[in-house]
Amino acid sequence: MKRKLLYPIAVMASLALALTACGGSQTKESAKDEKSESKAEAGSKAEKADASAQSGDGLVYWSMWEATEPQGQALKEAIDAFTKDTGIAVDVQFKGRTGIREGLQPALDAGTNIDLFDEDIDRVNKTWSAYLLDLEELAKANDYEKTANAGLIAACREVGGGTLKSIPYQPNVFAFFYNKAIFEEAGVKEVPKTWEELDKACALIKEKGYAPITSDDAYILSSFGYHLSRINGYEKASSIVKDGKWDDPSVLAVAKAYEDFAKKGYFSESIASNVWPAGQNQELAAGTAAIYLNGSWLPNEVKDIAGDDFQWGCFSYPAVENGVDGIEAANFGAQVLAINKNSKHAEDAFKLITYFTKGKYDQKLSEMSLGIPADSDNKEWPEILSSVKPVMESLKTRYPWAASAEDNADMTPILKENFTKLCGGSITAEEFVKNLQK
Amino acid sequence: MKKNSAILFAFVSPAAILFLLVFLYPILRTLCMSFFKIDGVTDAFSKWQFVGLENYQKLLSTTLFRISMGNLFRIWAFGGILVLSLSLLFAVIITSGIRGKSFFRAMIYLPNIVSAVALATMWLQYVYSPKFGLLKSFFTMIHLDKLARIQWLSNDHKFMALLIAYCFGMVGYHMLIFASGIERISGDYFEAATLDGANRLQQFRHITLPLLKGMFHTNITMWSVSSVGFFVWSQLFSTVTADTQTITPMVYMYMQIFGAGNSVTERNAGIGAAVGVCLSLCVVLIFQLCNRLFKDKDLEF
């Protein structure tokens, strides 16, 4: 009997030993957390905040930024001031792009205490729609829309299925950015509004010895998407890409337009081998190329290379002959903040969102990250983005990211390979279409 | 004796039980997931839709997945030949009594301790740069203008560029394994061979190589496992969106589970799981092949 018992007892004892070892380290961890939290707080409101954090009354914010980025630094500053003003503790966790993309949904599914989070407008509203709190009532109660960017709020409602489930901040637009000094030197007086005008401008720029257009592998496909959407409108363009209707005449038309530009030598010599950020850093910012299709975050990304004297210009992707959409359509959007539908502190979370996206801290975020302010009362945009303002204000139709070009994940790399070759001049428009049909 | 084995089992059991829980459960779950359509990787079972073998059929009929498997094979085969040959060569050199052995060993191993991000940035933005790159400058200097004009990161050369950069960082690791194997061989054999008039090459061919069978087995297995998990370098060589020359099954799996690039694309963790199952089968197959090819049990030294 004793012998029979020996085996299970020994197993249980060893298991218990193994598990207590794990448990021990957890206890140590949490004790360490408590210690660091209590050290960090001081003052009466801060003490209250500390207490609220420890009792679970504080807010937990999962951020898409890194703590070292200007956006992360600005948000941290806003959070510190928010806690000081309101006594509400905020546990901010800077997860970064990959961290939030991979980790948010599993964490929410596991019931992790997360009150608010942020990411791109489309990902939040489409991929994570099931986790979002409807913000219509909170927005109304706080009169939020009075000073919000109406176009972006409308975009949030549109992607949120007709209701407001996210609040935009750090607005951005995807358009052609250019070096004004090169345009002036080449005698290009007006920004191109049509493909023909772009053709003429490129010819003048090339004459002066500059590469008119450059790009990087990360963004080059947006050119294809924009052109296809200009011809067809986004919905049809997207269905062409998703359903592989490569025999649609508009695909060949896009290819012909780019083949023509490649033949005329309008693209940088290294466009076929530019791995991000080579094109934006070594060509556009370095002043050897004039135009680059990218987001309004570009000037901030290359500011250290371009220098203070770089004159930034911006224009919407030109209209094409007989196209459905014109320069009033573009991929514009924002990062958005959203509240977990299971949050017990939705009102506090909305207060924090308001703190981030209005007045002083919205302005601060704009200044620190050289971004566009979200509050319509914050009329001062960073000088570097002054030419983006008229473009942003003229937009009426919104394209999602890459304007259809990346809507079919199984085709994106194949499309990218062939479009890059087309711009590099190593294949013809017909070969481009044929390669997609394989 | 009986008592001892009971105690032995008792102390092995916790580890075995935990191992089964931590490894066997995910394996079985992944296998099960591969027969379902699942939007989010952590979706509740009630949301899973049974699709049978559809995920596998879709994978086989998807050009991009076939391209990714082709790339994986090229990395494994060509990269394997390159890395293992160089590591063997370096291992033989540094164990041959060369002066400054520790220095050379450290230098060759050095890329292993540098972050892959830093290494990739160096290769991408400096070595391969068509403007001021190391290769361009070098070939220009020796007047090989045709080679200097090569765009190393264009689609036609990108795979080669990736492979060279990756292998550069892998040689040191495998060299150490070979070197430890060579050092294990008693010097008596070489001494006797020298007395019998065998030259260095003959010694290598008839003593070192046969006695390194076990090390070949280890190295090929390690190389295969790391090749199958090829992900970071692929991501670094094609930021934001994947690339036909650098995509591997792991990248394809990531795209299926977390979405591709910046666009919001359809996700299916079931296909991701099916990719995982295929990759596991590849590793098991390679492992079995290695076991058959490199039987070293008949050798004792």
User: Which pLDDT tens digit goes with each residue over B272-292?
Assistant: 999 999 999 999 999 898 888
| 8 Å CB contact of B153 and A275 | yes
By C-alpha distance, which of A273, A54, A187 is closest to B150? A273
What does the pLDDT read at residue B290? 87
Query: Chain A within 8 Å of B159 (Cβ-Cβ)?
Result: no
CATH architecture of B55-293: Orthogonal Bundle (1.10)
CA distance A263 to A425: 7
What are the structural domain ranges in chain A? 56-172+333-383, 173-330+387-437
- B 115-144 near A (Cβ less than 8 A): 124-125, 128-131
Other Cβ atoms less than 10 A from the Cβ of A184: the count is 12
| 8 Å CB contact of A270 and B41 | no
CA distance A85 to chain B (A): 36
Q: What is the DSSP letter of A187?
A: T
**Closest B-chain CA to A119:** B262
Query: Chain B within 8 Å of A4 (Cβ-Cβ)?
Result: no
Q: Which long-range contacts (CB under 8 A, 24 or more apart) does A281-286 make?
A: A281/A305, A282/B129, A282/B131, A283/A211, A283/A214, A284/A177, A284/A179, A284/A214, A285/A310
**pLDDT tens sequence for chain A (438 residues):** 445 555 555 555 555 555 444 444 444 444 444 444 444 444 555 555 555 555 557 999 999 999 999 999 999 999 999 999 999 999 999 999 999 999 999 999 999 999 999 999 999 999 999 999 999 999 999 999 999 999 899 999 999 999 999 999 999 999 999 999 999 999 999 999 999 999 999 999 999 999 999 999 999 999 999 999 999 999 999 999 999 999 999 999 999 999 999 999 999 999 999 999 999 999 999 999 999 999 999 999 999 999 999 999 999 999 999 999 999 999 999 999 999 999 999 999 999 999 999 999 999 999 999 999 999 999 999 999 999 999 999 999 999 999 999 999 999 999 999 999 999 999 999 999 999 998
What does the pLDDT read at residue B156? 93
Residues of B in contact with A6 (CB under 8 A): 6-7, 10
- Start-to-end CA distance of chain A, whole Å, equals 73
| 8 Å CB contact of A272 and B154 | yes
Q: Are A139 and A349 in contact (CB under 8 A)?
A: no
CA distance B6 to chain A (A): 6
CA distance A301 to A434: 37
CA distance A282 to B133: 12
Overall CATH class of domain A173-330+387-437: alpha beta
Other Cβ atoms less than 10 A from the Cβ of B97: the count is 7
Equal CATH topology for A56-172+333-383 and A173-330+387-437: yes
Instruction: State the alpha helices, DSSP H only, in B122-263.
Output: 134-141, 145-148, 155-184, 187-195, 200-203, 209-211, 213-228, 232-237, 249-258
CA distance A242 to chain B (A): 10
CA distance A331 to A376: 20
User: Which ranges of chain B have pLDDT less than 50?
Assistant: none
What are the structural domain ranges in chain B? 55-293
Beta strands (DSSP E) in chain B are 36-37, 49-50
**Closest A-chain CA to B237:** A275
Token digits of residue A351: 């207060």
- H or E segment and range at residue A176: strand A167-179
What does the pLDDT read at residue A26? 41
What does the pLDDT read at residue B260? 86
CA distance A90 to A262: 53
The model's pLDDT over A118-157, given as tens digits with 9 standing for 90+, comes to 999 999 999 999 999 999 999 999 999 999 999 899 999 9
- Start-to-end CA distance of chain B, whole Å, equals 32
CA distance A429 to A414: 15
Degrees, nearest 5: CA angle A217-A232-A320: 75
Output the pTM of the full model.
Answer: 0.87
CATH architecture of A56-172+333-383: 3-Layer(aba) Sandwich (3.40)
Q: Are strands A116-120 and A90-94 parallel, antiparallel or unpaired?
A: unpaired
What does the pLDDT read at residue A38? 44
